[in-house]
A = this chain, B = another copy of it.
């Protein structure tokens, strides 16, 4: 479904968002230990997200990764788009070269319903909204 890379990214960002009281920064090691994600690999992933403006970072002592107000307003699908791209939400479930109503594979109609449901859920929820739900309800990140 989502790649491992993408799932790590989402969990990290939701972790940062749900702890975002007072613009709190977290360094790589703290995040990777908290979420049980391999440290060097997570480093690679987060490095990729900074220039894409999905997350923010500051080097040096007391530096780390954090989310700005702008970062928090992004819908979750932007994380997926940055890492895996949007083909999951566009591609044919049986691997045909194109997916369209004019050229439907045998599972097209049902598949599209499930695929669109997934897409809408990721597109309609901002990182901040989801983080608030994590704090008010009892959702797990690990």
Report which A residues bind B (CB closer than 8 A).
1-2, 4, 7-8, 10-11, 14, 76, 88, 91, 93-96, 103-108, 110-111, 113-115, 117-118, 121-122, 130, 133-134, 139-142
Pick from B1, B104, B141: contact of A106, CB under 8 Å: B141
A8 and B142 contact, CB distance less than 8 A:
no
Smallest CB-CB A-B distances: 3 pairs: A7-B95, A110-B121, A114-B117
Pick from B8, B107, B121: contact of A114, CB under 8 Å: B121
Chain B residues with CB below 8 A from A117, complex form: 110, 113-114, 117
Interface of A is mostly: helix
Closest to A104 in B: B139
Docked Cα-Cα span, A93 to B110, in Å, equals 20
**Contacts known (A1-B1, A11-B95); A130 close to B106, Cβ less than 8 A:** yes
Pick from B113, B118, B140: contact of A96, CB under 8 Å: B140
Docked Cα-Cα span, A101 to B26, in Å, equals 29
Q: What is the CB-to-nearest-CB distance from A47 to chain B, in angstroms, rounded to a whole number?
A: 20
Docked Cα-Cα span, A53 to B110, in Å, equals 27
Chain B residues with CB below 8 A from A141, complex form: 94, 96, 105-106
